Structure 1
Amino acid sequence: MLTSGSGPGKLPPMTDVTTDAAATRLRRSPLHERHTAAGAKFAPFGGWEMPLEYAGGGVLREHTAVRTGVGVFDVSHLGKARVAGPGAAEFVNACLSNDLGRIGPGRAQYTLACDDATGGVVDDIIAYLHADDHVFLIPNAANTAEVVRRLRAAAPPSVTVTDEHEAYAVLAVQGPRSGELLAALGLPTAHEYMSFSAATLDGAAGPVELTVCRTGYTGELGFELVVPAEHAVTVWDALFAAGAAYGLLPCGLAARDTLRTEMGYPLHGQDLSLDITPVQARSGWAVGWDKPAFWGRDALRAEKAAGPRRTLRGLEAVDRAIPRPGMTVHVDDAAVGTVTSGTFSPTRKQGIALALLDTAANLADGDLVEVDIRGRRAQMRVTRPPFVTPSVK
């Protein structure tokens, strides 16, 4: 299980963490043997057994590698779904929150699948627009089946929705030197943020066709490689054969969590959920408010007009304390919110958090609050994420 202690580098429990009772049913990445050989400590997450951290330095070393050099994450647990057929892009645009009309083929977009009745977030997703008749989606691991189910239920006869969860591996190559590493392998790196390009890697057993996406979850320069699962080992080995010159490290879910929290990026199940809408989570930038249709449109427009009862804010520790999800935020004797994500920031060397704070409390950036940490009040300052400035944008 993911650790929940209060020391630096430890992770809070995550919503997607699978119970021990289900451990025998966990899926494994096609790179599982490579992780074992690298000394990975595994954790059940979203129905998969995935690396939490690796021997030889753990979370802090992996986190620093991504902020200063380059690290690679196996994120093959992420879902993959293909929506295809005449009108596929138009159909996706009528379901998901963001406006695909803002981008063209070869571009990617962060978007949300919301519940039509409440506006709560079923999942947050990256949509890759290939053509008017082809959209590739990457949802979160635990939510893929539900996203596919909802899309299939709404799809017209001309559109097919295919769950391709285990057909592809995804490798996230992240950090200021990620472009140098991929260029050394002959892969494209000049495309813009949130775009993608088909590419060919010269593997030991022959060419490997893959997609190079200028995306990531760390805030640093980075790329995600979508690779047919049967070629995942070839690509992994090629990265590490070339990566020694750039200080490449394998990185696990623990560093992924500290990196994304430093950037204020939400994790579904904690900062976004069926009970937390995009309006409350300050994710309205991922909503096409003027679109004639998308799931949850009426509920979200009504909440936006009335103003949300709570909003997602940042907290930075003044005291030596590390906030964790579920801890209560106080102003004097009044409870004014709840921590949704919290960790130790390796970059800032202090505790940081995302928290849902009551709008009625009228808290401004810079205001002081207290977080109840196991019966002890720790002082924290309200702030606006990100908590760090990436070295490369």
Structure 2
Amino acid sequence: MFAPFGGWEMPLQYSGGGVVAEHTAVRESVGVFDVSHLGKATVAGPGAAAFVNSCLSNDLNRISAGKAQYTLCCTEEGGVVDDLIAYLVDEDRVFLVPNAANTTEVVRRLRAAAPAGISVTDQHEEFGVLAVQGPQSAAVLDAIGLPAELDYMAFTDARWRDTEVRVCRTGYTGEHGYELLPRWDDAPALWEALLAAAAEFGGRAGGLGARDTLRTEMGYALHGHELSTEISPLQGSAGWAVGWKKEAFWGRDALLAEKQAGATRKLRGLRALGRGVPRAEMVVRDTAGTEIGRTTSGGFSPTLKTGIALALLDTSAEVKPGAEVVVDVRGRALACEVVAPPFVESHVR
């Protein structure tokens, strides 16, 4: 089953599986995702890493060559154009993986700011991205001859069938996992090899449906939902991805001012206390009936067997974990407990 997503036709789920089966495979064994829609771009030239560090929010000086970092491309007003992964190749080369729909804008902004000698190359369709996620993910890589002994957020360039594949121990599921970046034309053969190896461990292919339930259980942001040009890192619980001590990055002054004043909204988790499933863009009220925010993502949690949601709640409401709130689910009041994500235990490190 396919659906449009980020300008691409993407699988929601695969035949013979379904969202719950694909989700469970990742939590208990291994799942393989084709997320080649994700953007890819290279910033290269003398001092490229320093240039990227002066633009994006996180501090590349926190990591060394061969490591990747979650970071944000912000507006001068403190909103988020995109959240992305930066691969630090060396001081003169940084490889970026933005979200599909935002790649053009991220590249445009970097090109507009780049000094002489720094190039920004859009490589969206030069590389595929295949994610291998779950407790058996290392075994799958071992089975096809790719390196699996990597620290969290470390990457290496390896050989597979006489072609180069970048292997990084990252992911979007909360499980031990990897993201592989083969050349575009090599991605189909690698996909088939990964699926064959995963099947030996009870694994299967996973689509966008399972990817969304997995990331929601972890409280991971999806751009356009928990982060956007209207939702700052501080509001979307991504302040940890800001290098607050850096002298320069896009949006620095606005974010520092917001940090000092205190964000007016805060991302929280909601766990349904009864039957019902909260979805995105539903009104959240306190027990007195006052509107205090809206959900940003939501759905049924296959792990917890109940409805869960992420929501931006007004900080003035002083709603803390353990409190009860009410979500308006198509005119029906659904009582929910406020929790601090993740909803389930993380196994990424």
* TM-score (structure 1 length as normaliser): 0.87
Q: Say yes or no: does 1:346 pair with 2:306.
A: no
Q: Say yes or no: does 1:91 pair with 2:38.
A: no
Q: CA deviation at 1:391?
A: 5.5
User: In 1, Cα distance between the equivalents of 2:88 and 2:193?
Assistant: 28
Q: Say yes or no: does 1:289 pair with 2:248.
A: no
**Contact persistence 1:81–1:161 (CA under 8 A):** yes
Counterpart for residue 126 of structure 2: 167
Return 104-113 or 232-241, whichever deviates more.
232-241
* Identity across matched positions, percent: 62
Choose the corresponding residue for 2:224, options 247, 263, 269. Answer: 269
Choose the corresponding residue for 1:79, options 39, 64, 68. Answer: 39
What's the secondary structure of 1:169's corresponding residue? coil
User: In 2, Cα distance between the equivalents of 1:92 and 1:392?
Assistant: 26
Q: Say yes or no: does 1:244 pair with 2:244.
A: no
Counterpart for residue 365 of structure 1: 321
User: In 2, Cα distance between the equivalents of 1:316 and 1:245?
Assistant: 35
What's the secondary structure of 1:126's corresponding residue? strand
Q: CA deviation at 1:184?
A: 1.3
User: In 2, Cα distance between the equivalents of 1:250 and 1:256?
Assistant: 11
Q: CA deviation at 1:392?
A: 6.4
**Contact persistence 2:31–2:198 (CA under 8 A):** no
**Contact persistence 2:32–2:195 (CA under 8 A):** no
Counterpart for residue 25 of structure 1: none
**Contact persistence 2:177–2:348 (CA under 8 A):** no
Amino acid at match of 2:64: G
1:196-215 matches, within 5 Å, as 196-202=155-161, 207-215=162-170
**Contact persistence 1:176–1:392 (CA under 8 A):** no
Counterpart for residue 184 of structure 1: 143
Q: Deviations over 1:107-134 (max 9, x none)?
A: 0000000001x10000000000000000
Q: Deviations over 1:224-274 (max 9, x none)?
A: 000100111111122123232112201000000000000000000000000
User: In 1, Cα distance between the equivalents of 2:337 and 2:113?
Assistant: 44
Q: Deviations over 1:339-363 (max 9, x none)?
A: 0010100000001111000000011
Counterpart for residue 312 of structure 2: 356
What's the secondary structure of 2:260's corresponding residue? helix
What's the secondary structure of 1:150's corresponding residue? helix
- Structure 1: any 5+ residue segments left out of the alignment? 1-40
User: In 1, Cα distance between the equivalents of 2:197 and 2:207?
Assistant: 20
Amino acid at match of 2:63: I
**Contact persistence 1:263–1:386 (CA under 8 A):** yes
Counterpart for residue 37 of structure 1: none
**Contact persistence 1:67–1:391 (CA under 8 A):** no
Q: CA deviation at 1:201?
A: 1.2
Counterpart for residue 284 of structure 2: 329
Counterpart for residue 66 of structure 2: 106
Q: Deviations over 1:68-91 (max 9, x none)?
A: 001100000000010000010000
User: In 2, Cα distance between the equivalents of 1:342 and 1:239?
Assistant: 30
Q: CA deviation at 1:281?
A: 1.0
Choose the corresponding residue for 2:97, options 120, 138, 141. Answer: 138
**Contact persistence 1:325–1:341 (CA under 8 A):** yes
Q: CA deviation at 1:390?
A: 3.7
User: In 1, Cα distance between the equivalents of 2:34 and 2:193?
Assistant: 14
Aligned Cα RMSD in Å? 0.9
Q: CA deviation at 1:282?
A: 1.5
